[in-house]
Structure 1
Amino acid sequence: MFNKNNGHFAIAIFVIGFIASLFAFSSVSPIWKEQALLFDVKINAQGQPSYRYKGKDVVIDNAIPYKNSPLRQAMLDKSLTAPSLSEQWVYKIKDNGEKQYLLLKPAFHLGLWSLLPAFITIALCLLTKEPMSSLFAGIAVGAVLIGKFDITDKVLLPTLSSTGAATIILLYLWLLGGLLGIWSKTGAAQAFADFMCRTVVKGPKSAKLVTWFLGVIFFQGGSISTVLVGTTVKPLADKAKVSHEETSYVVDSTASPIASILAFNPWPAYVQALIYIPGVAFLATEADRIRFFFQSIPFSFYSILAVLGTLLLSLNITTFSGKGIRKAMKRANETGELDGPDATPLNFQELKSDSLPEGYKPHHLEFIFPILLLISIAIISFIVLGIPKINWAFAAALGVSILIAGIKGMRLRHIIDGIGDGLKSVVSASVILMLAVTIGRITTETGGGLFLIDLLGSQINYQVLPAVLMLFTMITAFSTGTSWGTYAIAFPLAMPLVWAIAQSQGLAHPELFLSICFAAVLNGSVFGDQCSPISDTTVLSAMTTGCDLMDHVKTQIIPASIAAGTATLLWSLITIVYV
């Protein structure tokens, strides 16, 4: 897909973007905007105003009347230089005589230039199909745009040293990678699949149901779920004469959609870092934003319908599956041919390694116990604490898997080798995640969201906004082949815009509207990634199931589009009726 001419064009775009960012840094004056953060302030026993943050009471000192603050919008409009204060507590007197406390923080945008980092990233992804270099190019352009020329010390290191980044590294790289490595070394996942084959699979329907069930059980999403499920079910699906188009569709359409519904995985930890909105108290902390993620899950209509669609197909109900799927099913049933006559199935060496130590006998319970423990801890902690402790859940699952392997006689060096192999398998993905978080921060710092608010906030009718966001993220993710990369670009732009429209148009239920639009961005990105022929999950779904790539794309896009259209209609109806 990538050729020399595309490489030259990509270099030219980066150079032009870099020069443009230098020009904007030296010539464009920032437009400063007042950002008011409203906290739930109480008067403590000493008569002092205070608010609760991370379980502690924080006293508000030196608050001044709002009209005297140099950070209010009227003063920012008059100033020709950057504000001397980075934040200031103020209060307003409400109609009932009570004081309303606000924390003012100035922010700026650079007009259309604020969107330059996102534009460069998307353009290079389209050309190169390579997200890592594209994300880094966007970061470099954004850093120059705001005068942070020391990219390593001023941009990358602050991101890597943040709590959110540390959480991603711990969860996605160490715990998840280690767990996958242990399962590979012990053969636990394959033993579980073999057990299902012996006890459950009796024909095409039961083979597809097992595939669907495993897609739900492996709810980590993305390439991880795709590889685990695809490599696990291919032998049993082939034996049961399930067409490769059907198998690849079920594998692909349960991977990321189920991860956004059963979100006891790294997704909330990643997304929460991108959805902070100045002035919105219920998104003020990391815990608040993760809680908001889970509260918005009932509105993930596309993901729900996508998983439901694969279940219907697994039950041989093809009403919403499209002509391509029905044709493939008929071919497999009547002729036994798993691929079309002109298909070129992707060759794939299964990712699971044949590195089982000599004398070690895997058992399906080695998979079942850790996964049940993982799910239990995540759900119970969510019920008891109000937030799922994903790190606890994965650490416990990894610890139990290591303990079981040790008790069964696996040597320590084999355990360490397995963990090491697992870490290696997710290093590349972890780097991309960190770059995605960084480009999201850069987009926020350059004021991309603020610019869109100024440009569109009073012009877009709130009733059409969920559909607009769904379409925008679908196109972006389809073009770039990445949902998480799209999140990094879309959420910092969309969330402030949604909240500003909710406030300016006087919506009765702004939090509900924010949840709907959040789900539209989340689900639109999943759809675009799932259906894109350049997405890793799309390619891996075809490869692991032995399907022709374009046959998989063409047959999957019909049921996925039906689900996306229905989801958009539901968001619009709820917005019109209830918001």
Structure 2
Amino acid sequence: MKKRNAKLIFMTMFLIIMSSVSVFAAEVDTAVVNADKFGILTLLPPVVAIILAFATKNVILSLVLGVMSGGFLLNLNGVNILSALFNSFLDLVNRAVNSLADPWNAGIILQVLAIGGVINLVAKMGGAKAIAEALAKKAKNARSAQLITWAAGLLVFFDDYANSLIIGPMMRPVTDKMKISRERLAFVIDATAAPVAGLAIISTWIGLEVGLIGDGFNSIGVNTNAFSVFLNTIPYRFYNILILGFIVLTSVLLKEFGPMREAELRARRGNVNLTSSKEIDEKISNEHSDLEPLPGVKLNIWNAIIPIGILIVGSLFAFYYSGYTTILGGDDATLIELLKNSPLSFVSIREAFSNADASVALFQSALFAGIVAIVMGTSKKIFNISQGLEIWVDGMKTLVITCVILICAWSLSSVIKELGTARYLIQLLSGSIPAFLLPSIIFVLGGIMSFATGTSYGTMGILMPLTIPLAHSINPEMSYIIVCISAVLTGSIFGDHCSPISDTTILSSMGAGCNHIDHVRTQMPYSLFVASIAILFGYIPAGFGLNIYLILPVAFLVMFIGIQILGKSVDIDENEECLTA
């Protein structure tokens, strides 16, 4: 009887294992079969998305039609085109619903919305404006005014829009007084908006970035912690890091080159703005009103420090607790023993963070920070509970567009995976692209796409599902894949930074009270200069596997030398002395 039971159990287990293997094989074979079946047509969804993004400048429409083009191919049986079109629409809906049904994706969406609510509460309570004004009082000359504007941009790290619209109007009277051109102010604002928000571990960007990274690894069957990967990409965000350093170097040295030097010399002689700013000021007042404190609010920096501080510290606690409970609920005896015996050791904290569910942890901390902000506002009689909840929801509304882009990007990733697009690209390119060049190619492609479309979000959504599988096929080492991921994230920001149709570029012009074309014209040489260094002394060496602690110092040294060679002083007294001599 026992032998019979043993045989029965064995056969049952065998069938379960074989069925699991067959299901897995079916999933893998779908991509393989479709890659062979459709060939070059597997590129249709990303190509449609890219071309339409260039043509329409509308990333949501481009992503939607990209998904539908993939669904059209998958549903095209025979010559029934109308049926395939109808089914492609149904396929789009199903993919969007399935994206939201995933607990990880749902957590990402919720934390993006919750952080938006916190930002709006902080703005309406006057916290952000109070910090900007406190910093503005410390500006004594051209150097300190620019460095303080830079520092203020770092402090408003949680959102690029908030950065552009808060820092510009606050610092403009100060920089005007110090005879700094509006073009230079617009550049400093722009270079501390998206680059800082893209680097911050707590921001309105992190949901998009972590979500796309997680989905990319899922597409190749690699189980990894997406937030941990995100953290590891930070040292390789060469453009973001270098552009921030560029501001400091040129501000301290008071050296500029190209059209920016002309603007600065003009400003030092008393004309900070070439273009009449009456029309611009009207636009600023309309846009900036959304982030202005409520009428009668007494400005207090603690109205920003406490909610944002709780958001950051709460996130750290939430990450630890999430990872801690995950490990204790798992079957790794060594890790369980480690956490029980030394819960606060460096190794324990690192392992807890690596095993945390970032989407849930960030949502928990953002929700708690929102509650604290509402309690603060009501206790100080800035608003009542009902008004506080309304402000919180209004802040969420501003980020609905981000959530829609995320859902569309996840859907595009899904159809790309099913069609076998990445597999086809791997077969086509894995033997033809030198491994060391791939990060640089991705960076340049991301820059071109985001420059033409004016959106870094959409560029990330299109490139990330293709980059991770391709990088993995060329070199499966995680360090190499991380460099390629960072190239997507920074290339998107570089192109967006240069683009005249980018929303952050436009908002930076408005915030500084600067003519938009003047801002683009003076900023672009600086962006191209920094991007060139990021490629030649960042991504190419990183592609060869050089140590990041060697790459970054060398890149900064080259940038310093380049500024010394190309740049000339904008100190008016020094220039006048040179002219006299």
The question of whether the paired residues in 2 share the 8 Å contact of 1:343 and 1:548 is answered with: no
The question of whether the paired residues in 1 share the 8 Å contact of 2:506 and 2:516 is answered with: yes
Report deviation, 1:355: 7.5
1:432 to 395, 398, 405: 405
- Aligned partner of 1:259 in structure 2 is 197
The question of whether the paired residues in 2 share the 8 Å contact of 1:243 and 1:328 is answered with: yes
- Aligned partner of 2:109 in structure 1 is 169
Q: Structure 2 unaligned runs (5+)?
A: 1-12, 76-86, 321-345, 548-581
- Aligned partner of 1:140 in structure 2 is 68
How far apart, in 1, do the equivalents of 2:540 and 2:47 lie?
28
Q: Report Cα offsets for 1:503-540 as digits up to 9, x if no partner.
A: 5xxxxxx2222122122222111101111111111111
Counterparts of 1:317-356 in structure 2, within 5 Å, are: 317-318=254-255, 321-339=256-274, 347-348=283-284, 349-353=286-290
The question of whether the paired residues in 2 share the 8 Å contact of 1:164 and 1:269 is answered with: no
Q: Report Cα offsets for 1:237-292 as digits up to 9, x if no partner.
A: 334432111111111111121223333334343233334346967x414xx12211
- Aligned partner of 2:539 in structure 1 is 571
Q: 1:60 to 1:562 in 2, by over 3 A?
A: farther
- SS of 1:386's equivalent in the other structure is helix
Report deviation, 1:144: 2.0
The question of whether the paired residues in 1 share the 8 Å contact of 2:374 and 2:385 is answered with: no
Sequence identity of aligned pairs in percent?
29
- In proportion to residue count, which structure has more helix? 2
User: Is structure 2 residue 145 aligned with structure 1 residue 217?
Assistant: no
1:419 to 392, 395, 404: 392
How far apart, in 1, do the equivalents of 2:202 and 2:271 lie?
39
2:483 to 492, 511, 516: 516
Mean Cα deviation higher: 249-258 or 394-403:
394-403
Letter of the 1:122 counterpart = I
- SS of 1:260's equivalent in the other structure is helix
Report deviation, 1:345: 5.3
Report deviation, 1:305: 0.2
The question of whether the paired residues in 1 share the 8 Å contact of 2:164 and 2:507 is answered with: yes
How far apart, in 1, do the equivalents of 2:292 and 2:430 lie?
57
1:274 to 208, 212, 225: 212
Counterparts of 1:173-572 in structure 2, within 5 Å, are: 173=113, 175-198=114-137, 200-275=138-213, 276-277=216-217, 283-285=222-224, 288-318=225-255, 321-339=256-274, 347-348=283-284, 349-353=286-290, 360-379=297-316, 381=319, 384=349, 385-387=352-354, 389-409=361-381, 410-502=383-475, 510-569=477-536, 570-572=538-540
Letter of the 2:465 counterpart = P
How far apart, in 2, do the equivalents of 1:350 and 1:316 lie?
34
How far apart, in 1, do the equivalents of 2:15 and 2:141 lie?
71
How far apart, in 1, do the equivalents of 2:15 and 2:173 lie?
67
How far apart, in 1, do the equivalents of 2:257 and 2:421 lie?
39
- Aligned partner of 1:115 in structure 2 is 43
The question of whether the paired residues in 1 share the 8 Å contact of 2:460 and 2:492 is answered with: yes
How far apart, in 1, do the equivalents of 2:118 and 2:497 lie?
25
Q: 1:341 to 1:357 in 2, by over 3 A?
A: closer
Q: Report Cα offsets for 1:381-435 as digits up to 9, x if no partner.
A: 4773315632233223222211111111232233133223323333333323332
Counterparts of 1:47-86 in structure 2, within 5 Å, are: 63=17, 85-86=22-23
Mean Cα deviation higher: 268-277 or 458-467:
268-277
How far apart, in 2, do the equivalents of 1:172 and 1:454 lie?
36
Q: 1:119 to 1:377 in 2, by over 3 A?
A: same
Mean Cα deviation higher: 260-269 or 336-345:
336-345
The question of whether the paired residues in 2 share the 8 Å contact of 1:343 and 1:551 is answered with: no
Q: Report Cα offsets for 1:79-130 as digits up to 9, x if no partner.
A: xxxxxx43159xxxxxxxxxxxxx9665232322122122222222222222
Q: Report Cα offsets for 1:292-311 as digits up to 9, x if no partner.
A: 11112111111110111122
User: Is structure 2 residue 95 aligned with structure 1 residue 155?
Assistant: yes
How far apart, in 1, do the equivalents of 2:232 and 2:298 lie?
43
The question of whether the paired residues in 1 share the 8 Å contact of 2:456 and 2:492 is answered with: yes
How far apart, in 2, do the equivalents of 1:60 and 1:562 lie?
61
2:24 to 87, 95, 101: 87
- SS of 1:400's equivalent in the other structure is helix
The question of whether the paired residues in 1 share the 8 Å contact of 2:182 and 2:512 is answered with: yes
How far apart, in 2, do the equivalents of 1:342 and 1:216 lie?
27
How far apart, in 2, do the equivalents of 1:315 and 1:401 lie?
37
How far apart, in 2, do the equivalents of 1:229 and 1:341 lie?
21
- SS of 2:289's equivalent in the other structure is coil
Mean Cα deviation higher: 131-140 or 341-350:
341-350
The question of whether the paired residues in 2 share the 8 Å contact of 1:444 and 1:493 is answered with: no
How far apart, in 2, do the equivalents of 1:185 and 1:472 lie?
39
Q: 1:431 to 1:233 in 2, by over 3 A?
A: farther
How far apart, in 2, do the equivalents of 1:472 and 1:524 lie?
7
How far apart, in 1, do the equivalents of 2:292 and 2:192 lie?
28
Mean Cα deviation higher: 231-240 or 127-136:
231-240
Letter of the 2:541 counterpart = L
Letter of the 2:511 counterpart = T
The question of whether the paired residues in 1 share the 8 Å contact of 2:259 and 2:522 is answered with: yes
- SS of 1:363's equivalent in the other structure is coil
- SS of 1:413's equivalent in the other structure is helix
How far apart, in 2, do the equivalents of 1:416 and 1:261 lie?
29
Report deviation, 1:452: 0.7
- SS of 2:210's equivalent in the other structure is helix
Q: Structure 1 unaligned runs (5+)?
A: 1-58, 72-84, 90-102, 504-509
Q: Across the two proteins, how many residue pairs are aligned to each other?
A: 478
Q: 1:358 to 1:453 in 2, by over 3 A?
A: closer
Q: 1:342 to 1:197 in 2, by over 3 A?
A: closer
How far apart, in 1, do the equivalents of 2:279 and 2:296 lie?
39
Letter of the 1:301 counterpart = F
How far apart, in 2, do the equivalents of 1:301 and 1:411 lie?
45
RMSD of aligned residue pairs (Cα, Å): 3.1
The question of whether the paired residues in 1 share the 8 Å contact of 2:159 and 2:204 is answered with: no
How far apart, in 2, do the equivalents of 1:468 and 1:340 lie?
38
- Aligned partner of 1:50 in structure 2 is none
Letter of the 1:361 counterpart = K
Q: Report Cα offsets for 1:196-255 as digits up to 9, x if no partner.
A: 233x12233222222211211122344343333334433433344321111111111111
The question of whether the paired residues in 2 share the 8 Å contact of 1:219 and 1:263 is answered with: no
Letter of the 2:428 counterpart = L
- Aligned partner of 1:44 in structure 2 is none
Report deviation, 1:356: 5.4
How far apart, in 1, do the equivalents of 2:404 and 2:93 lie?
17
**TM-score (normalizing by structure 2):** 0.75
**TM-score (normalizing by structure 1):** 0.75
